[in-house]
Amino acid sequence: MSTMTERLNPTRLRKRAGSLLVDGFFNGLARAGKLHPLAHPSRHGLEVIENVAYKNSGDRAHLLDIWRPVQRARIGRAMPTVLYIHGGGFRILSKNTHWLMALSFARRGWQVVSINYRLAPQHHFPAAIEDACDAFVWLVQHAADYQIDLNHLVFAGESAGANLVTALTVATSWRRPEPFAQRAFDTGVTARAVLPACGILQVSDVHRVRRRKPQMAKFIEDRLTEVSTAYLGPDQHDDLTLADPLVLLETSDAPERTLPPFFAGVGTADPLLDDTRRLKAALDARGVTCEARYYPKEIHAFHAFVMRAQAKQYWTDQFAFIDRLGLAPE
């Protein structure tokens, strides 16, 4: 009887319905977009090497795709490369749903390594950041095999992916106790730029959003709570640094390696807006370049809707930032 009551709990049902709605919307959008003729990589002079294993687990979570310009690949020189980590609240989506992000970079001449990683709630923290670190180590070890220019390496991701690329930057800049973070640090390689879009950069305290916006819709609060509980799980963690990389950037001593420049874009209607503001303040205090751009009235992940004017502006701003750093493909 208690089990049936729990299943019929209105709060539980509301949260479940909201979760299914979000999951279905983004997966359906990605599938529909792929039907457009211009979605095919060959229309843009690109090729995709699909489902390369970066860990020998046999798990689809440990696969990546490599998008690259065909002509640049044929020349045989190392290519500027973006390591892209998808969002989805640590619990949904994949490299396949984020083909548009990879396409957008690759059309500009970048090689893109777009990864899967283990998802919550089946796999709690630190599974996702462990996979991100291991994919990075794989990338470094196979740079010669895939013409990856480690001197022109960029980390990029949105939402949960923004958290993971920021945490990966922490792991490659500070010597950490976690074995997977040590493996990343020991490569001796760091990104030349980091592009965390609309990031959730502190997972352990999602209620900070409600404190800042008391009138926030219950639907949004449910999604944020779902992210935190799914990713962190029921266990108590002694160290949440790599789940909350923003907190480290706000409080830690200087890193052993210089932090790269950041470009952080976010819409002003995004409930996670304040995380980008805090990131900007933290990096400014450290003397680290951080170009934060705020797009009026735009929602979370607005830049994925690439045909809209402000989404186009976001991509223009982001590429201009990379160009100013001298990282743009020749």
pTM: 0.91
Higher-confidence residue: 4 or 295? 295
Which residues fall within 8 angstroms of residue 66, CB to CB, at 6 or more apart? 48, 49, 52, 111, 112, 113, 114, 146
pLDDT at 187 over 50: yes
Give per-residue pLDDT as tens, 269-328.
Answer: 999 999 999 999 999 999 999 999 999 999 999 999 999 999 999 999 999 999 999 999
Alpha carbon distance, N-terminus to C-terminus of the chain: 67
- For residues 25 and 126, which has the higher predicted lDDT (pLDDT)? 126
Q: What is the pLDDT at residue 207?
A: 83
Cα–Cα distance, 132 to 330 (Å, whole number):
28
- CATH T-level assignment (fold) for domain 2-324: Rossmann fold (3.40.50)
- What is residue 33's predicted lDDT score, i.e. its pLDDT? 63
User: For the residues 38-49, what does the mean pLDDT come to?
Assistant: 92
Task: State residue 1's pLDDT score.
Answer: 46
The count of C-alpha atoms lying within 13 angstroms of the C-alpha of 322, restricted to the half-sphere facing its C-beta, is: 27
Q: What is the mean pLDDT of residues 226-241?
A: 92
In the numeric block, which tokens belong to residue 305?
Answer: 């809707």
Cβ-based neighbours of 155, under 8 Å, separated by 6 or more: 82, 83, 85, 165, 168, 169, 191, 193, 194, 195
Q: Is residue 249 pLDDT above 90, yes or no?
A: yes
Using 50, 70 and 90 to split pLDDT, how confident is the model at 122?
Answer: very high
Task: Give the mean model confidence (pLDDT) for residues 69-73.
Answer: 94
The average confidence (pLDDT) of the chain is: 91
More confident position, 212 or 147: 147
Distance, CA of 318 to CA of 290 (rounded, Å): 12
Least confidently predicted of 175-179, 208-212, 326-330: 208-212
